[in-house]
Amino acid sequence: MKLSDARVQAATRLQQAGIEGFARDADRILAAVLAVEPGRLRIMPDRDLSDAEEDRLWGGIAARAQHQPVAQIVGFRDFYAHRFMVTRDTLDPRPDTETLVEAALSLPWKSVLDMGTGTGAILISLLAARTGTSGTGTDISEAALDVARRNAQIIGVTAAFHRADWYDGVDGRFDLIVSNPPYIALDEMTGLAPDVRLWEPESALTDGKDGLSAYRVIAAGAARHLTPGGNMLVEIGPSQASDVSALFNDAGALTRVIPDLDGRDRVVLAQYPA
């Protein structure tokens, strides 16, 4: 089959399956099969697809029609300045989280801890952007840690990755602690898009309670794991700014709320006393 015909058929199948952004998703899957950037598909309309390429294309399109996220199908997501391997064991890094990375790069620090690192996207982006720094990534999932280690290796960043349950398993102090914890309340899970709810790891999305459990643990233990005057940055859901700020204020920190590119409250900065 010719590429131009495959493009149209792939997009049509996704449209029929009710996938929002069907043409863009079809192009991302087709481009990944051909190992080119999606923008190049337009200039190679007469390229013939081999049987193997077609098999992978229609396999990927069938998966997307079942709402599997494109990042899981193609196996990667571009985040901040790098390409990260993504699997079913990790949250798909979101553009909203780049707000946290940018906030972290506006702060002074030489050592950083990322709790619930997943793909390692936050930690690896930070270490790659600032030379002379060191970092540790933790996660409760060994499978996620394997992905993070692979990403660090591919991107060429040195970091320590080990299993921990928030601070349980963490030793020492860091200038900066960052986390994008599971913050969706259990009763809000049913409202999520099927792409997220059916395919992404539940333990990366929800605490199974009110969405604030992780912040309670993170705020309570921060003073024991930050160097004096250190900073904490956590991603939040847009409605959680005041609840999360209050938890850090109660732990003795000053807080500031940072919006994402859409203007929604997305990150809480907690500054601990020197």
Nearer to ligand GLN, 118 or 135 (CB): 118
Task: List, in order, residues 6 or more apart from 183 with CB less than 8 Å away.
Answer: 206, 207, 211, 212, 214, 215, 235, 236, 237, 240
Name the minimum Å distance from CB 184 to ligand GLN: 5
Q: How far apart are CA 87 and CA 109, in angstroms?
A: 30
Nearer to ligand GLN, 57 or 270 (CB): 270
106 by Cβ neighbours in 10 Å (0-12 / 13-18 / 19+) ranks as: exposed
Beta bridge partners of 255: 270
Nearer to ligand GLN, 27 or 235 (CB): 235
Name the minimum Å distance from CB 59 to ligand GLN: 25
Nearer to ligand GLN, 67 or 130 (CB): 67
Residue nearest to ligand GLN (CB): 183
Among 233, 230, 232, 257, residue whose Cα is nearest residue 243: 257
Q: Does 182 bind ligand GLN (CB under 6 A)?
A: yes
Residue 229 among known ligand-binding residues: no
Place of tokens 């349950």: 165
Which of 125, 141, 180, 245 touches ligand GLN (CB under 6 A)? 180
Q: Does 141 bind ligand GLN (CB under 6 A)?
A: no
Which of 32, 121, 177, 205 touches ligand GLN (CB under 6 A)? 205
Among 145, 29, 28, residue whose Cα is nearest residue 85: 145
Provide the CA 16 distance to its chain's centre, in angstroms: 29
3-class secondary structure per residue, 29-82: HHHHHHCCCHHHHHHCCCCECCHHHHHHHHHHHHHHHCCCCHHHHHCEEEECCE
Q: How far apart are CA 43 and CA 164, in angstroms?
A: 48
Which of 13, 24, 67, 94 touches ligand GLN (CB under 6 A)? 94
Nearer to ligand GLN, 161 or 183 (CB): 183
Name the minimum Å distance from CB 196 to ligand GLN: 5
Residue 120 among known ligand-binding residues: yes
Q: Does 67 bind ligand GLN (CB under 6 A)?
A: no
* Count of beta carbons in the 10 Å neighbourhood of residue 157: 19
- Binding characters for ligand GLN, 224-263, by CB under 6 A (x = yes): -----------x----------------------------
Considering only residues 185 through 204, tell me which ones interact with ligand GLN, judged by CB under 6 A: 196
Which of 183, 199, 215, 272 touches ligand GLN (CB under 6 A)? 183
Residue 231 among known ligand-binding residues: no
Binding residues for substrate are: 180-183
Contact residues: ligand GLN, CB under 6 A: 94, 180-184, 196, 205, 235
